[in-house]
Amino acid sequence: MTPPSSRPTMRDVALRAGVSPKTVSNVLTGTAQVREPTRLRVEQAMRELDFVPNLSARGLRNGRSGVIGLALPDLRAAFSASMTHAVVEAAHARGLVVQVEETAAEPGREHDLVTRARTHLIDGMILNPVRLQDSVVEHLDHLPPIVLIGEVEQHRTDRVFIDSRAAARDAVRHLLARGARRIVSLGGAESGPGLDKATQGQRLRGYLAGLAEAELPAPAELQTEVPEWTIAGGAEGMRQILQQGAQFDAVLAFTDSIALGAMHELRSWGARLPEDVLVCGFDDVEHARFAGTPLTTIAFDHEDYANAALDLLTSRMRDRALPPRAVEMPYELLARASTTGPPAGFSGRISEN
């Protein structure tokens, strides 16, 4: 019998890439800067050789496990799936494994992750807390390496974010420019707890600012919370607005998932999109451009976002004395068919379905 081939080593990768084993190690651990062309060449060699780093051996040498944690509030949401994929790919390129957790907005689950980091089961964490007041970041001293993603504003650790308030305001401006005047806020309401929550609060403030800028009212009957930031949650929130008989001509949904649920519900009530109602979402998930009526959305590059978070985290893992840093990512409004105006308007009535 032919003996099984031996497992590729860092020396094999170095030979294939034309670099030193130390350079391969630097690419894997992120402990030193490697020029982009060199890093890409090393990563290509890893793929060609099907190289898998020996994380346990590496951990014995440098005190690291090679594992990081990613904690998101709701893994069912399309944005969570897209961001998880982007983080896993960015981590893999750095020789790291990702342990994914769903916090369900429960501070106890964040605390469990921090405990694991303190006992060196994971080397660092990327967290997406819903409220700073509830987050472990606000309540624990001597934090392990942590990067926050999302709109939680704090100065204890690193974070990556987009300006959700400005983005929501720009979305309102776009809807107004397309002829809308009565815009539903689907995902947050002044009368609800939304202003206390990071992302939700920023998007609600942007919605209100956009209307105020145009000297238009923000009627309470056009603002609603949704039970979950999912397609089903968006459909239920839209149904509540329709059942109240409110008159409106546009919807600003706080995520694309919410928007897709709203579009489904609007059609089931007989609304034409976009002839009667304009709809704009947030996050530019893959489903948005393939919807029956392609969805206008606030877009930002998920891969760039993930790489920014990993860059902050790996540098924090190397040097915990670094001052907290905040990286703001650019966004753009992608106008698609769902906001081709002007809209005729729509009001709720008893559905025949």
DSSP class per residue in 152-208: ---SSSEEEE--HHHHHHHHHHHHHHTT--SEEEESB-TTSGGGGSHHHHHHHHHHH
Q: Is pLDDT above 90 for 182?
A: yes
* Cβ within 8 Å of residue 22, ≥6 positions away: none
301-316, pLDDT tens digit by residue? Answer: 999 999 999 999 999 9
pLDDT at residue 59, rounded to an integer: 52
Q: Is pLDDT above 50 for 171?
A: yes
* Cβ within 8 Å of residue 170, ≥6 positions away: 206, 210, 298, 333
Q: Is pLDDT above 90 for 110?
A: no
pLDDT at residue 133, rounded to an integer: 56
The mean pLDDT of the chain is: 86
pLDDT at residue 2, rounded to an integer: 37
Structure letter (DSSP) for residue 276: T
Distance CA 72, CA 152 (A): 13
Q: Is pLDDT above 80 for 87?
A: yes
pLDDT at residue 195, rounded to an integer: 60
Using DSSP bridges, classify how beta strands 247-248 and 326-328 pair: parallel, antiparallel or unpaired: unpaired
| Domains of the chain in sequence order | 11-50 (no CATH), 67-162+301-332 (3.40.50.2300), 164-299+335-345 (3.40.50.2300)
Q: Is pLDDT above 90 for 22?
A: no
Q: Is pLDDT above 80 for 62?
A: no
For the segment 33-53, the average pLDDT, to the nearest whole number, is 83
pLDDT at residue 128, rounded to an integer: 86
Q: Is pLDDT above 50 for 174?
A: yes
Residues β-bridged to residue 340: none
* Residue 213: pLDDT band with limits 50, 70, 90: very high
* Residue 349: pLDDT band with limits 50, 70, 90: low
Q: Which residues of 211-220 are buried (b: 16+ CB within 10 A; e: fewer)?
A: beeeeeebee
* Residue 249: pLDDT band with limits 50, 70, 90: very high
* Burial classification of residue 50, based on how many CB atoms lie within 10 Å of its CB (0-12 exposed, 13-18 middle, 19 or more buried): exposed
* Residue 10: pLDDT band with limits 50, 70, 90: confident
Comparing 155 with 284, the larger pLDDT belongs to 284
For the segment 129-136, the average pLDDT, to the nearest whole number, is 63
pLDDT at residue 196, rounded to an integer: 61
Comparing 63 with 170, the larger pLDDT belongs to 170
For the segment 56-61, the average pLDDT, to the nearest whole number, is 51
Q: Is pLDDT above 80 for 291?
A: yes
For the segment 159-178, the average pLDDT, to the nearest whole number, is 97
For the segment 72-78, the average pLDDT, to the nearest whole number, is 88
* Residue 115: pLDDT band with limits 50, 70, 90: low
Q: Is pLDDT above 90 for 175?
A: yes
Distance CA 151, CA 9 (A): 41
pLDDT at residue 3, rounded to an integer: 43
Percent of the chain, pLDDT > 70? 83
For the segment 88-98, the average pLDDT, to the nearest whole number, is 92
pLDDT at residue 286, rounded to an integer: 93
pLDDT at residue 140, rounded to an integer: 56
Mean pLDDT lowest among 30-34, 155-159, 232-236: 30-34
